[in-house]
Structure 1
Amino acid sequence: MKSRFLPAVIATLTLIGCRETVLGPPSGLPESSAGVPQQVVVGGVPVALETSLWRDFMPIAPPDGQALTALLTVRSQNGTPLPDGLQVTAAGVYYLGKRWTSEPESERGYDPTAIVYLARGGPRWGPGGTADVIVLLDFNGAKALLRAANQPITRTD
């Protein structure tokens, strides 16, 4: 009797293991970062994504370090101020076949050519290695994806 169920259990576990690992809330981001542009034009302004990804290992951090944090900056590429109403509504970090999605928080900024967001509480990937980062932009209801490729995951000590 037990041997009849074993193949079904193995097949189910195999299928589960082949699925992509997604950590975080649903986001509307693609399953893969492939094909997402590294520059888009929003409201007539060309923009690109700059990131900083890190894990905190300072003495007050847990022994295995803090969770991944992502600083996300959408910046005008020609010095023109960004259009009013431009927002980042979702972010995804793609690392070794896994994806962490988040709804980043806006950080107060005074540079009219950039908007800054922060995503906290990610997985404990790295440090070391690189990840692709994608943000979902919303400009008055119009959506666009923007990618920063091969971003290093660093550590702070």
Structure 2
Amino acid sequence: MDPTHVVVTSGNEVGEWARKIIEVYMTWYTFFASSNVLAMGWIFGSEIDQSVRPMLKPICILFAILNVLGAISTGVVGSSVGPQIPEFKKLIYWAAGANGFALLGFVVVWWVCYKRLSAPLPAAILARPGATININSAGNTVINN
């Protein structure tokens, strides 16, 4: 093949590729945002057993990293596709900004989740069922199992 040969695509073909990229991106984004919400609901919406807490910390880190990478990908998709479709450039930039901002918001929530899982548990939570919990004269919590 001649290295000076240039493939010229029609504007229609570029528009079709841009449409497909946005379609795939929005499918991914919807799935990923839903996964974030479901995972957060499961972690924040239920009592976490002490034995499970160490296993959840890496999940928080993983989701935070994936969200940062997703925000970067969102910026790349927006800045790559926006100029290809001048009629919708403003819309694509706005959507990329909003989606990237939402993904970075998820990063903050995952960081809070990580910090909550890293904090020591109050003594009352560590007590066995049926144990009595008292506060002595020095103000310390005493658990009688």
Q: Highest CA radius of gyration, 1 or 2?
A: 2
Larger helix proportion, structure 1 or 2? 2
TM-score, normalised to structure 2's length? 0.29
